[in-house]
C-alpha cells in the first residue's frame, strides 16, 4: 500500500515537473546553476565593445528590439541568409541598418567556451541590451532569462511589424499594441533614441519638408544630408548627448528637435505630449518606466521549455 501511494506520488511529481517545464516562464535565475558566469561574461564583452565604439551600445539595444518585435524574442534577427534560407536581415527596417552581429558572435564564442550549448542567442541579446544601457549611464534592471532560439525567421513579419520612421502617433501606438505593449511603454521605449545614430535616408523628408521642426536644427542637418545622395550619412538621434543614456531625447522633442518624424510625433500637440513633459523633467520616472517597458518587451512570445533550440552559432540553426 505504502509502495503504491509512493509510486503514485512519483508519477504526480513527474507530471507536475513536465507541466512546469512545458509552460516555463522566464526567470532571473535561469542560468544560476547551469552557467553561473554567463552574465559576467556577457557584461565584460559588452563593456569592451562599447569602450571601443560607444555607438555599439545603441546598436546592441536596437538588435534586441528588432528581435522581439518579429516572432518574439527568439534570436530570429541573427540568422543569416543563405541559398536556401531567407532571414530578416534584408527587411526594410534592417537592411544597411542593424549592426553589432560581430559583437554578438564574439560574446557567443566566449559564452560557449564557459558553458557549452547552454545560453541562447535570444538571452544574449536581452542581457547585452541591458548592459549597453548601463554602459552609457542608463538604469539597470534584472533581465528575465530562459528564452530559446528559433528555427525560423520571418522577412515578411520584419517588414510589417517593425515600426517605420514615417509612422504617425496612431501607427506607433498600434504597432506596439500589436505586441501587447502599452502607449506608455511605447513612449518610454522610444527614449532609446537618446543614444545612437540614424541615416540621412530616414530623416531627409523631415529636415526639408516638415514644419514642426526647429529651423536652425533642420538647416544644420542639411549639409550632411543633401536632397539627393548621402543616404547613408548619419546624424545623432539625440542632438545633445548621443552617447549618454539620459532624458535629453525628450528635451529635444520639447524643442521640436526630434530627428525622426516618428520621434516628433510624441510631442506634436497630441496625447503623448504630457508623458514627454514628465520624462523631460524627471529622469527617475523615465528610467523606471523604461526598465519596466524593457522587461515587457523582453517577454514578447519567448520560446521556452523544449521549443526551439540553443544555437551553437547565432547566425544559423543547429
Ligand atoms: C517607436 C518606434 C520606433 C521607430 C519608428 C524607430 C526607428 C528607428 C530608425 C529609423 C532608426 C535609424 C535607422 C537607420 O538609420 O538605419 C533607429 C535607430 C535606433 N533605434 Fe529605433 N525606432 C523605434 C523604436 C525603438 C525602440 C523601442 C528601441 C529600443 C528599445 C530603439 C532603439 C534604437 C537605437 C538605439 C537606434 C540607434 C542604433 C545605432 O546607432 O546603431 N528604437 N530607430
Ligand atoms: C518635399 O516635398 C515636395 C513636394 O511634395 C517633394 O517634391 C519633395 O521630393 C520633398 N522633398 C523631400 C526631401 O522629401
Ligand atoms: C502646437 O500648438 C502651439 C500653440 O497653439 C502652436 O504654436 C504650435 O504651432 C503647434 N504645433 C503643431 C506642430 O501643431
Ligand atoms: C541556411 O540557413 C539555415 C538557417 O540558419 C540553416 O538551417 C541551413 O543549414 C543553412 N544552409 C547552409 C547550406 O548553410
Query: Do residues 66 and 154 touch, judged by C-beta distance below 8 A?
Result: no
Calculate how far, in angstroms, residue 230's C-alpha sits from the geometric centre of ligand 2.
Answer: 16
**Which residues does ligand 2 sit against, CB inside 6 Å?**
204-205, 208-209, 227
- Say if residue 234's pLDDT is above 90: yes
38-162 placed in CATH 1.10.520.10: yes
Among the bound ligands, name the one nearest to the CA of residue 261: 1
What pLDDT does 25 receive?
87
* DSSP collapsed to 3 states, 228-291: CCCCCCEEECCCCCCECCCCHHHHHHHCCCCCCHHHHCCCCCCCCHHHHHHHHCCHHHHHHHHH
Q: For atom 3 of ligand 3, which residue has the closest CA?
A: 269
Distance CA 61, CA 220 (A): 27
Q: What gap in Å lies between CA 119 and CA 183, rounded to an integer? A: 32
Is residue 49 a contact partner of residue 133, using CB atoms and an 8 Å limit? no
What is residue 106's three-state secondary structure? helix
DSSP state of 299: T
> Which residue, among 197, 239, 244, 198, has the nearest Cα to 216 in the 3D structure?
239
- In the chain, how many H helices and how many E strands? 14, 2
Answer yes or no: is the C-beta of 245 below 6 A from any ligand 1 atom: no
Own/partner long-range contacts of 155-158 (Cβ < 8 Å, ≥24 apart): 155/86, 155/87, 155/88, 155/90, 155/91, 157/70, 157/71, 157/88, 158/66, 158/70, 158/77, 158/88, 158/91, 158/92, 158/93, 158/94
Q: Are strands 234-236 and 197-199 parallel, antiparallel or unpaired?
A: antiparallel
The reply to whether ligand 1 has any atom less than 6 angstroms from the CB of 91 is no
pLDDT value for 24:
55
In degrees to the nearest 10, what's the CA dihedral of 203, 204, 209, 215?
70
Please give the pLDDT value at position 3. 41
Report CA(193)–ligand 1 centroid distance (Å).
Answer: 6
- Closest Cα partner for 317 from 156, 81, 142? 81
Q: Which positions are annotated as active-site residues?
A: 66
Domain edges within the chain: 38-162, 169-296
Distance 76 CA to ligand 4 centre (A): 13
Give residue-wise pLDDT tens across range 21-41: 444 589 999 999 999 999 999
pLDDT given for residue 12 in this prediction: 34
Q: Element (H or E) spanning 50, and its range?
A: helix 38-52
Q: What's the confidence (pLDDT) of residue 90?
A: 98
Ligand closest to CA 227: 2
Q: Which residue's CA is minimally distant from atom 9 of ligand 3?
A: 212
- Cα of 209 vs centre of ligand 2, distance in Å, is 6
Give yes or no for residue 104 CB within 6 A of ligand 4: no
DSSP assignment string, 147-205: -BB-S---HHHHHHHSPPTT--HHHHHHHHHTTT--HHHHHHHGGGGGBSEEEHHHHHH
Nearest atom, ligand 2, residue 207 CA: 13
Smallest CA separation from ligand 4 atom 7, residue: 317
Buried b (16+ CB within 10 A) or exposed e, 75-94: bbbbbeeeeeeebbbebebb
Quote the pLDDT of residue 312.
Answer: 98
Quick check: 19 pLDDT over 90?
A: no
Mean pLDDT of the chain: 94
Cell numbers that stand for 162 in this block: 517593425
**Residue corresponding to grid cell 558566469:** 37
**Atom 5, ligand 2: residue with shortest CA distance:** 209
Mean pLDDT of 145-169: 98
Decide: 84 in ligand 4 pocket, CB within 6 A: yes
Residue 21: per-residue pLDDT? 41
**pLDDT tens for residues 251-287?**
999 999 999 999 999 999 999 999 999 999 999 999 9
Residue located nearest, by CA, to atom 8 of ligand 1: 165
Please check the confidence at residue 9 and state whether its pLDDT lies above 50. no
**Atom of ligand 2 at shortest distance to CA of 208?**
13
pLDDT at 259: 99
Cα(185)–Cα(63) distance, rounded to whole angstroms?
Answer: 18
- With residue 56 as reference, give the H or E element that holds it: helix 55-68
Q: For residue 153, report the distance from its CA to the centre of ligand 1, in Å.
A: 20
- Which ligand is nearest the CA of 311, by number? 4
Residue 14 has pLDDT above 80, yes or no: no
CATH homologous superfamily for the domain 169-296: Peroxidase, domain 2 (1.10.420.10)
Amino acid at each position: 500500500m505504502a509502495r503504491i501511494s509512493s509510486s503514485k506520488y512519483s508519477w504526480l511529481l513527474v507530471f507536475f515537473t513536465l507541466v512546469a517545464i512545458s509552460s516555463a516562464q522566464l526567470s532571473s535565475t535561469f542560468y544560476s546553476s547551469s552557467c553561473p558566469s554567463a552574465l559576467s561574461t556577457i557584461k565584460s564583452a559588452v563593456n569592451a565593445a562599447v569602450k571601443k565604439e560607444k555607438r555599439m551600445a545603441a546598436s546592441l539595444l536596437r538588435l534586441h528590439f528588432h528581435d522581439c518585435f518579429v516572432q518574439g524574442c527568439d534570436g530570429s534577427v541573427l540568422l543569416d541568409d543563405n541559398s536556401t534560407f531567407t532571414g530578416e536581415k534584408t527587411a526594410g527596417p534592417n537592411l544597411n541598418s542593424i549592426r553589432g552581429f560581430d559583437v554578438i558572435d564574439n560574446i557567443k564564442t566566449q559564452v560557449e567556451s564557459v558553458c557549452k550549448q547552454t545560453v541562447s542567442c535570444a538571452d544574449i541579446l536581452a542581457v547585452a541590451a541591458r548592459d549597453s544601457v548601463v554602459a552609457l549611464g542608463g538604469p539597470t534592471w534584472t533581465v528575465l532569462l530562459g528564452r530559446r532560439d528559433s528555427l525560423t525567421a520571418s522577412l515578411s513579419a520584419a517588414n510589417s511589424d517593425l515600426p517605420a520612421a514615417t509612422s504617425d502617433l496612431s501607427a506607433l501606438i498600434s504597432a506596439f499594441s500589436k505586441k501587447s505593449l502599452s502607449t506608455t511603454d511605447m513612449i518610454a521605449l522610444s527614449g532609446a533614441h537618446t543614444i545612437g545614430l540614424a541615416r540621412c535616408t530616414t530623416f531627409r523628408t523631415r529636415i526639408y519638408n516638415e514644419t514642426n521642426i526647429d529651423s536652425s536644427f533642420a538647416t544644420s542637418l542639411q549639409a550632411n544630408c543633401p536632397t539627393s545622395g548621402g543616404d547613408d550619412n548619419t546624424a545623432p538621434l539625440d542632438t545633445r548627448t548621443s552617447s549618454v543614456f539620459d532624458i535629453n531625447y525628450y528635451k529635444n522633442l520639447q524643442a521640436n528637435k526630434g530627428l525622426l518624424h516618428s520621434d516628433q510625433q510624441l510631442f506634436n500637440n497630441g496625447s503623448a505630449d504630457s508623458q514627454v513633459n514628465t520624462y523631460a523633467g524627471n529622469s527617475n520616472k523615465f528610467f523606471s518606466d523604461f526598465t519596466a517597458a524593457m522587461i515587457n518587451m523582453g517577454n514578447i512570445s519567448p520560446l521556452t521549455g523544449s521549443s526551439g533550440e540553443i544555437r551553437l552559432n547565432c547566425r544559423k540553426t543547429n
